[in-house]
Structure 1
Amino acid sequence: MRDFAYVARDRVSRKHMCHVFRCDTPARTIANTLRDICKKIMIERSLQQNLNKPLDTGSGGGGGGSRLTRPTNLPTENRRTHRHPQIITTAQSFPTPMEEPKKVMRVQYVGVLQVERPSGMEVINTAIQRVVEANPPPWRNVSVAVAPSTVTITNADDGKQIAECRVRFLSFLGIGSDVKHCAFIMHTAQDQFIAHVFFCEPSTGALCKTIEAACKLRYQKCLDAHPGVGRGGRGAGTPRTISATLRSVLGTITGRKARSAES
């Protein structure tokens, strides 16, 4: 099939128009590419809304960071250049990297525990139970800063960093039997699996949803970096594993929210 069409709203008339094309290449390829671009935009928009949305935890609240705009081109005004046959120098400095957007939440850190497996709700519930029994309240007040690439846990009292977790190594995330407890599992460089356990009132749903958004964006970036992987090409096994893990993580959160609403 070489016929392709999409519907978009016209900027002038504000009416929805259907644009139809006859393609020299298979239309499915163009449709899939457009779908992936739209999906990426929606995921980034969802993450931005999650990071900028105010949070009400019921026990001290939290704060969020504003999204900073990264420069898309080099400034050209008032730039002094010195040309040499093989050297070109610029007096104006190169733009400095911008800080990642992040959302900071105030929760309580129950503790950490090494687990045997990288995923599974039974692993999460067992880890939460064992950590809570080993570390009775009161628990430490911490700030959890969630960015697209990292989840940073910092002691709220003295500002010391407890852990910095790379989102790419997060293998599972889940809410416990009590919705006030949640945990996520990290795969360490020593090939071990570590579960970080948190407590938040009235529930840990907001924390999990924010980490979920970061996982979605990270996964989409992996697909963008390897466009041929995961669609039957060479090395497709790894993205399918990542995709299955992400689906299990997001399904766990969705299922837990549904059961909580029913009760």
Structure 2
Amino acid sequence: MMMVLKKDTLSLMDPVDHSLIHCQPIINIRVWGVGCNNGSYRDFAFVASDKDTCMLKCHVFRCNAPAKTIATALHEMCSKIMAEKTNRSPSMARSLTMESISPEDLPRQVDFLDAMRKRVQKFEVQYIGNLPVSRAMGMEVLNRAIESIMNTSDSDEWEPIVIHISDTVLSLWKGEDGDDPFWECQVRYLTFLGVGHDTHTFAVIVDGGTQRFECHVFWCEPDAGIISEAVQAACMVQYQKCLVAQTPPPRSKMWQAGSKVKRANSMDGFTFPAPLHQGLSPPMIGSSTAKKGMLAFFETFRNKQSAVSTP
């Protein structure tokens, strides 16, 4: 297939008859990246929200050309989209202007998970139980906890509950008539979630503070897929809120001009070591990398010169 980046859309087209296979609004793309396969950077992927299913989907491609070209073009298009938004809305909050948002953060900033925002999803499940675990994350930890609880409890002892999932709180209720949940947890304290070997089982690991972690296990019908996606979406909303909250403050025009000069002179800066602050060590890794890069450049240049001089 053929990928076309045009205006605010990423399109996949049939290379023969140019018929449209898939159309993806760039504003709904959350993140993208370039992968390396056998030393060749020709793998490209992006994660985007699907409005029809309210799910996140990862699209992966093997490219004929270097995938970095696609990533660069996508960055440029995001910059253009944000610039147009700023021009159309001069009164837009400064936290959402080009001065404080980099192009690569644009998809995460402008489009939260609409399916989870200001909405509570409810699922009828059976609460199997909980037990302390040694680590905050990992499928091995999760599966061991699920198997341990399943082996030490009888299905007759499982408690029917309703689990409420919002973008901030995960809570367990005994029916709809209760005034208070018998257990609840802030979504930001969830450290891991997953579906067990039996697809009916779903579990979350919670940070209890002071290096204490608990695993809570549930039995879901017909399977744990939907509830797993709902909790994952809530975690994604929290992550995106953190990104927005940590957006750096607006910078002055004088600072921006200085930063542009620094970027323009960055290649020359390798020969002039920066003054070290007390308590800091020199960036040996960066210096070594720059040196290796220059040596590789000269070696390539020599090879080209020898090839030209050969009759």
Give the TM-score normalised by structure 1: 0.54
Q: Deviations over 1:92-149 (max 9, x none)?
A: xxxxxxxx42111111110011101101111111111111122211211111111111
| Match 1:140 to one of 155, 159, 166 | 159
Distance 2:112 2:177 in 1: 35
> Higher Cα Rg: structure 1 or 2?
2
Q: Which residue of 1 aligns with 2:137?
A: 119
Match of 1:176 in 2: 196
What amino acid does structure 2 have at the position aligned with 1:36?
Answer: D
Matched, 1:103 2:172: no
Give me the TM-score of the superposition, normalised by structure 2.
0.46
Report 1:209-224 matches (<5 A).
Answer: 209-224=229-244
Q: 1:156 aligns with which of 175, 184, 188?
A: 175
Alpha-carbon distance change, 115 to 147 in structure 1, aligned in 2, over 3 angstroms: same
- C-alpha displacement of 1:228: 4.2
Per-residue CA deviations over 1:43-102 (Å, capped at 9, x if unaligned) read 423xx1xx5xxxxxxxxxxxxxxx7xxxxxxxxxxxxxxxxxxxxxxxxxxxxxxxx421
Q: Which has the higher contact order (CA 8 A, sep 6+)?
A: 1
| Residue aligned with 1:179, SS | coil
Kindly report which structure 2 residues correspond to 1:180-191, keeping only aligned pairs within 5 A, or say none: 180-191=200-211
Secondary structure of the residue aligned to 2:7 is strand
Using the alignment, how far apart are the partners of 1:31 and 1:189 within structure 2? 33
Gaps of 5+ in 2: 10-24, 26-76, 84-97, 250-311
Q: Which residue of 1 aligns with 2:220?
A: 200
Does residue 36 (structure 1) correspond to residue 54 (structure 2)? The answer is: no
SS in 2 for 1:185: strand
- Over the matched positions of the two proteins, sequence identity in percent amounts to 30
Let me know the Cα RMSD of the aligned residues.
3.1
Corresponding residue number in structure 2 for 1:7 = 7
What is the identity, as a one-letter code, of the residue corresponding to 2:102?
T
Contact 1:153 1:164 in 2 (8 A): yes
